[in-house]
Amino acid sequence: MNGRLLLCIAMGVFVAHLGVFMILDHLKPKPPPPPPPNFTVRSQTVVDRDSGEKTIYREITVSTKLGTPKPKATPVEKPVLVEVEIPKS
């Protein structure tokens, strides 16, 4: 066999495998985005006109909602037991 032909076949197989792996990578489900932060920070600086004293008011608000709630599962119906009498022979 010609060395160049063998090299072309090997490169073709390599590129084909690379393409298949890239397509399979796109089929994987991506993780959900992280939830937005559950806190806010506000700051306000006030300067007293008479004394020139700076006062900083800071407010930190944290909500108790940590994430999106899971959907409730639909209730499963309980199976009904049916009693069957077996005739005696």
Residue whose structure tokens are 């009693």 = 83
Q: Give domain status of residue 88, yes or no.
A: no
pTM for the predicted model, two decimal places: 0.35
Q: Give domain status of residue 26, yes or no.
A: yes
Q: Give domain status of residue 48, yes or no.
A: yes
Q: Give domain status of residue 87, yes or no.
A: no
Structural domain containing residue 10 = 3-62
pLDDT at 85 over 70: yes
Q: Give domain status of residue 89, yes or no.
A: no
Range of weakest confidence among 2-6, 44-48, 72-76: 72-76
Number of domains in the chain: 1
Among 46, 44, 62, which Cα is nearest to 54's? 46
Q: How confident is the model at residue 54 (pLDDT cuts 50, 70, 90)?
A: very high
Among 67, 40, 41, which Cα is nearest to 56's? 41
Q: Give domain status of residue 67, yes or no.
A: no
Percent of the chain with pLDDT over 70: 87
